A and B are shown apart, each in its own frame.
Chain A
Amino acid sequence: MELKKSPAFTPHLEDELRESLKRCSPETVEAVLGFRQYGNFDGIPVIVLGIIERFLEPDVRHLLREGNDDTRLFEDLGVDSLLMVEIIILVEETLDISIANDELRDIRSVGDIKTYLDYKVKGIPIPKQNKRLTVEEIASVMPHQDPFLFIRESKISLNEAESIYTITGGEFFLEGHFKNNPVFPASILIEALGQLAVLYLIRNEKPEFEQPIDTSKVMFASCDGVRCHRVCRPGDILDLKVKLKRIRYPLVTFEGTITVGDEKAVFAEDITLAFDYES
């Protein structure tokens, strides 16, 4: 694609940008100039990471360079709310955008920032992060119902969903699985991850899903690379998590994990659902 130079980009503006970014890496400065001159979005991650890095203490910079989107701003990088504002001001100045206070509230990780700015500069509405759903809300939107609903209070973020389920011992199938030895079936553990993926699918705000999902048309398609590490029994609290891997209409693929306390219980490399939009 040939990029057209913006008429608003003047030598004076370039000087100002270089001065503002004087403590950032040369790649960051070039990415900013590319964005401001030609509207080149590809440099946004470099710009954002470069600006954050410039404000970090030298001893934590390597965490940012390792490139993990899960790196937490406050806990891992020591970015407090005042420093966050400094970062935002420099981002605003260099990308020529304005960021409202309430848009920042849900930003917790490096990945959150990258996603947020990607949407922001492209003018796409910012999805609400970390949406929490109660059991009642879940029951009202899910096709699954008790006694075959295996997710409880859930949190839906932009690219993942989390939930918990406590094995009560009263589940009807435990009577026969196994005789005098209640073990939560591995197939139902996978079912629970599948249900969480369904919940994500129908309640996320990711703009890549073009229209509302028709809940009656969501079906399990495949599951690959499943490993069970631990037997789950009554009393165990299951921490369920699904992470979006890719969307290829009409299929959507997640990675799933279940942990009990600190112990890994289940890992599923691919859980794929088939879906369709409301017609």
Chain B
Amino acid sequence: MRKVVVTGLGFVTSIGNDKATVIDSLCHLKHGIELFPPFQKDNIPVKLAAPIKEFNTESIDSEDWTSPSQYKLRMDTLRGLSPHGLYAYCAMVQAIQDAGLSEDEISNPKTGLFTASSGSVFMTYNHLNRMFKVGVLRTSPQGIISSIVGTLNFNLVAAFKIKGASCGFASACSSSGHALGYAHDEIALGRHDRMFVVGGEDGNFLNILPFAGMRVLTLSLDPDRASRPFDKNRDGFVGTGGAVVMVLEEESIARKRKADIYAEFKGWGQASDGYHVALSHPEGNGLIQSMQRALESVKLGPKDIDYINAHAPSTLAGDLSEMRALKNVFSQNNCKPAISSTKALTGHALSLASIMEASFSVLAIKENFTPGSAHIETLDPEAKGLNIINKTQEGSPKHVMSNSSGFGGANVSLIFSDPNL
């Protein structure tokens, strides 16, 4: 099997729109949560979200949108995009620059692109409204491609002239973990030399608010304490969006072109709960299986992992089953890796969450820190025996596991390691 390394990252997140800002936010536990203006209405009990700053994608007309001035989009690129398509385009530009890729290295049959997003409810809603208002034949021809699941791959493949595989993954909050895992395998199996993996979510009114119907959004009014995974008094997640891009390459190719390597993407595991459409298994059975499979695939034991970026979205049931799964795999084997949930800072980014947290994990390996779990005032008693760190610590983890769990009990565990081991 060929080795896979991470050579580039791009960020448009609630805690920063570039690598330096993201690192600063993770090190100093600066969150991106605020009273979200579109929610400040009497009939909306949810008040908080973690929106993307420096962009404005509120208009239903993409030509009204604004982005930081360093990004130059052609009109024909902009027209097919959803809000998260715009974020992803900008994150792609960053990741390409970060990895130092030439046009030929981006556009060739051995470079592919996998994506994860839930599509754009915002675009769907607005285009359907227009269809009902003005008739079927006067709806925008871009309506479908900017709306449906897959919108990220259609647009990015065209904009960046990708010639290898392109595909989108949909497993709710595990989606971008699946995209990463299968992209890893494409390179490990020799089918591709290089893969872009992209996660994105609109993170706007229509994307976040429907989760209120499941009663999983926090009703807190306090941005500084609202998202608090592992806290006894947690009461739901804070929604966010954005986009993150990770560049994966076969190790010898990356070394030959003298790429700056963040980490080795050693391998991954996945398993399903087979239990409930939305709730995770109370004992975390699927997640236990997925973590064990990840460890087996990379030939490491629980004692080798020194940091776990948990899925823990700050929901009652989700955090609980993950704590039980972590105890099963690690505590029962006398292993105490550092554990944190960076969702305390970012909010929960749904399809984007897994790759965002995987990127934080490789940043930790490269930049000599281990991110802390913010906002814990009263640790949940269920966390007894787990080494949940509430401050960011100096020092790089050698081997990181990043967990994600989606609806239907779809669990993914990714393992990244120091590339110089």
CB–CB B138/A92 < 8 A: yes
B214 at the binding interface (Cβ < 8 Å): no
Considering only residues 61-104 of chain A, those with a C-beta below 8 Å from chain B are 78, 80, 82-83, 85-86, 89, 92-93, 98
Interface residue B75 (Cβ < 8 Å from any Cβ of A): yes
When distances are taken between beta carbons in the complex, the residues of chain B under 8 Å from A220 are: none
Chain B 71-105 residues near chain A, CB threshold 8 A: 74-76, 79
Alpha-carbon separation in the docked complex, A86 to B127 (Å) = 13
Contact A86 B140 (CB under 8 A): yes
The CA-CA distance from A167 to B134 in the complex, in Å, is 57
| Nearest chain B CB to A188 CB, angstrom units | 49
Cα(A230)–Cα(B140), bound, Å: 52
For A56, A83, A93, which residue has the most chain B Cβ atoms within 10 angstroms? A83
Q: Are B63 and A23 closer than 8 Å at their CB atoms? A: yes
Q: Say yes or no: A86-B141 contact (C-beta < 8 A), given A23-B63, A57-B74, A57-B75.
A: yes
Q: Quick check: is A55 within 8 A (CB to CB) of the other chain?
A: yes
| Given A23-B63, A93-B134: A57 and B76 interface contact (C-beta under 8 Å) | yes
Partner among B79, B138, B141 whose Cβ is within 8 Å of the Cβ of A93: B138
Work out how many contacts link A and B, with CB atoms closer than 8 A: 25
**B21 interface hit (Cβ, 8 Å):** no
Minimum CB distance partner of A82 in chain B? B141
Encoded as 1 (CB less than 8 Å from any A CB) or 0, chain B from 104 to 136 comes to 000000000000000000000000000000100
Q: Which of B74, B79, B141, B142 has the largest count of A CB atoms less than 10 A from its CB?
A: B141
Give the distance in Å from the alpha carbon of A82 to the alpha carbon of B144 in the complex: 12
Q: How large is the interface on A (under 10, 10 to 19, 20 to 34, 35 or more residues)?
A: 10 to 19
Chain A interface helix/strand/loop/mixed: helix
| Chain A 246-265 residues near chain B, CB threshold 8 A | none
- Output the least CB separation between A50 and chain B (Å): 16
Within B124-172, which residues are at the interface with A (CB < 8 Å)? Answer: 134, 137-138, 140-142
Q: CB-defined interface of B299-311 with A at 8 Å, one 1/0 digit per residue?
A: 0000000000000
B140 — nearest CB in chain A belongs to which residue?
A86
Residues of B48-89 whose CB lies within 8 A of A? 63, 74-76, 79
Q: Are A83 and B134 in contact (CB under 8 A)?
A: no
Nearest B-chain residue to A93, judged by Cβ: B138
CB distance B134 to A78 under 8 Å? no
Q: Please state if A89 and B138 are interface contacts (CB–CB under 8 Å).
A: yes
B76 & A78 in contact (Cβ 8 Å cutoff):
yes
**Which chain A positions have C-beta within 8 A of B142?**
82, 86
Report the bound CA distance from A83 to B76 in whole Å.
8
Contact A85 B76, CB 8 Å, known A23-B63, A93-B134: no
Q: Per-residue CB proximity of A133-154 to B under 8 Å, as 1/0?
A: 0000000000000000000000
Contacts of A55 in B (CB 8 A): 75
Where the two chains meet, the residues of B that have a C-beta atom closer than 8 Å to any C-beta of A are: 63, 74-76, 79, 134, 137-138, 140-142
Mind listing 5 A-B residue pairs with CB under 8 Å?
Answer: A56-B75, A57-B76, A78-B76, A83-B76, A86-B79
Question: 19 other contacts beyond A86-B79, A86-B140, A93-B134, with CB at 8 A cut-off?
Answer: A23-B63, A56-B75, A57-B74, A57-B75, A57-B76, A78-B76, A80-B76, A82-B141, A82-B142, A83-B76, A83-B79, A85-B141, A86-B141, A89-B137, A89-B138, A89-B140, A89-B141, A92-B138, A93-B138
